[in-house]
Amino acid sequence: MEFKRSLGRSGLRVSAMGLGCWAIGGSLWYMDGDIRRPLCWGDIDDRESIRAIRCAMELGINYFDTADSYGAGHSEEILGKAVEGRRGEVVISTKFGDLFESETRTWLGHGHPDGKMTRDYVRKACDASLRRLGTDYIDLYFFHWKEYDAGLAADLVSVLEALVDENKIRYYGWSTPYMEQASVFTKGKHCTAMQYNCNIFERNPDMLALCREHNLGSIARGPLAMGILTGKYSRDSRLPGNDVRSRWNLKEGRIAQQLEMLDAIRDILTLDGRTLPQAALGWLWALDPQVVPIPGFKTVKQVEDNFNAFEHGPLTPKQMQEIERVLKEFPYNLIELG
């Protein structure tokens, strides 16, 4: 397996695994009626986050994905500090489309109350991300509103192409699991990747096929199924109140089903000495050689452990076949959009 690959139809060369920077953004909340709920991943240590990013760079990982809303801008700021002086060595993607209040770390919803993005909003969001990242260009700029009206999206292509012409961004894409939305962006000259949930439990064959057809990079968000595929959680686990997963029902429903399926395929995933996270990454590399998983992280150890997946590479065809055989015995739907 090649350590680096071209990202879609761009000239960008990225490591076969990137890092997702949602968790290192820290505190972010939203109001669910009168209840304040988390959109974050528990406590963070900014110094450890910076060490982890720099560790990844030393190992050869050069692709980092963030968003303006992660930690209400804090993730972009930390990433910018971590790569300061080495900007040319990394490929950075960030996202736009959300409203948030930095002072209170509150997510306010998507880009405009009337449901329509404006060119002025996109430009201001881009400039704000550039400031927080401490850079004068963004390598890959993702739209972060997955259900946005596809009929309105052509205007977004126009403003994104203008930002390319102004050298503020190099390429762009859409973070969405939906074919109708993504198809609009494929017509853009500098569209080069799509980002969508993809892991052993969450499949999206239509988006994978679209990326193949149009020579677009497939950025796999949630490659470890929000931690389920690490094997750290059971039906008796408890998560802190400042963790986005604190509302999980581990006793029944979708998460409980995934835990049950993981138990059934655990030995297949780890039979050649891989850890579960390394096997989950290997599954994605075996699925398609152009898929770039972006596991999240908060510590140096997590980065190092995930990097060691390269020692094993893709799962073998036999492992892939056995996993599918076992999972087909379950009555649960593996294809989930969003």
Residue 334 is assigned to a structural domain of this protein? no
Q: Bigger pLDDT: 43 or 334?
A: 43
- 3-state SS of the chain is CCCEEECCCCCCEEECCCEECCHHHCCCEEEECCEEEECCECCCCHHHHHHHHHHHHHHCCCEEECCCCHHHHHHHHHHHHHCCCCHHHCEEEEEECEEEECCCCEEEEECCCCCCCCHHHHHHHHHHHHHHHCCCCEEEEEECCCCCCHHHHHHHHHHHHHHHHCCCEEEEEEECCCHHHHHHHCCCCCEEEEEEECCCCCECHHHHHHHHHCCCEEEEECCCHHHHHHCCCCCCCCCCCCEHHHHCCCCCCHHHHHHHHHHHHHHHHHCCCCCHHHHHHHHHHHHCCCEEECCECCCHHHHHHHHHHHHCCCCCHHHHHHHHHHHCCCCCCCECCC
Residue 293 is assigned to a structural domain of this protein? yes
Residue 250 is assigned to a structural domain of this protein? yes
pLDDT band at 151 (very low <50, low <70, confident <90, very high): very high
Q: Is the pLDDT of residue 115 over 90?
A: no
pLDDT tens digit string along 166-218?
999 999 999 999 999 999 999 999 999 999 999 999 999 999 999 999 999 99
- Please give the pLDDT value at position 335: 57
- Domain range for residue 65? 4-327
Residue 335 is assigned to a structural domain of this protein? no
Q: Is the pLDDT of residue 334 over 80?
A: no
- Please give the pLDDT value at position 337: 42
- Please give the pLDDT value at position 336: 53
Residue 139 is assigned to a structural domain of this protein? yes
pLDDT band at 114 (very low <50, low <70, confident <90, very high): confident
Split into its structural domains, the chain has a count of 1
Q: What is the mean pLDDT of residues 87-109?
A: 96
pTM for the whole thing? 0.97
Residue 333 is assigned to a structural domain of this protein? no
Residue 232 is assigned to a structural domain of this protein? yes
Domain CATH for 68 = 3.20.20.100
Distance between CA atoms of residues 332 and 114, nearest Å: 37
pLDDT band at 116 (very low <50, low <70, confident <90, very high): confident
Residue 26 is assigned to a structural domain of this protein? yes
Q: What is the mean pLDDT of residues 278-297?
A: 97
pLDDT tens digit string along 291-315?
999 999 999 999 999 999 999 999 9
